[in-house]
């Protein structure tokens, strides 16, 4: 949402008709993420064994040790960059099927009254993000939002919940 000039190039129709330009956009996205390391929020979630549903494509939850359900897939491997336009789920593009959406709904539907659904740094701009919150509430889960300074507030929140 914050970069419409990039967002408009993340459609399957664009990838299929502008191979080189799409591949370059993905190369740039990957370059922007190269060197990114998990922060304490990623590690805390992994240490506490919190099931993760993420919209991020950076792979940081997996690097930290979580078995994250990546709603929008990941990025191509370095040796796949020349054919990035043809790959599915690397990342999921507008117009692509999103196979992990069903997994996410199933995870949230399994929540019970008294469970906690922790939302970390997730916008209200994406339909599935809003839907999953509503399903969690409907299942009786307590929804806790951490929208600022997640790197410091996630561990504090988890420690407070487990006292």
Task: Quote the CA–CA distance of 154 and 40 in Å, as a whole number.
Answer: 8
Alpha-carbon distance 8 to 108, whole Å?
30
* Active-site choice (19, 42, 72, 152): 72
Closest by Cα among 48, 56, 17, 23 to 116 = 48
Specify whether 72 is catalytic: yes
Q: Which residue has the tokens 């951490």?
A: 146
Q: What is the 3-state secondary structure (H, E, C) of 29-51?
A: HHHHHCCCCCCHHHHHHHHCCCC
Q: Which are the catalytic amino acids?
A: 72
């Amino acid at each position: 949402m914050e970069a419409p000039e990039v967002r408009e190039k993340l459609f399957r129709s664009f990838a299929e008709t502008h191979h080189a330009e799409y591949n370059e956009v993905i190369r740039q996205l990957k370059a922007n993420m190269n060197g990114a390391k998990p922060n304490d929020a990623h590690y805390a979630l992994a240490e506490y064994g919190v099931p993760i549903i993420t919209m991020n494509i950076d792979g940081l939850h997996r690097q930290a040790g979580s078995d994250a359900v990546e709603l929008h897939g990941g990025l191509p491997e370095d040796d796949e960059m020349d054919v990035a336009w043809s790959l599915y789920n690397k990342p999921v593009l507008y117009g692509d099927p999103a196979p992990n959406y069903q997994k996410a709904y199933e995870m949230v539907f399994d929540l019970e009254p008294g469970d906690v659904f922790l939302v970390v740094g997730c916008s209200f701009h994406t339909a599935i993000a809003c839907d999953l919150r509503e399903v969690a509430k409907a299942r009786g889960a307590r929804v806790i939002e951490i929208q600022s300074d997640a790197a410091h507030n996630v561990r504090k929140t988890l420690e407070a919940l487990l006292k």
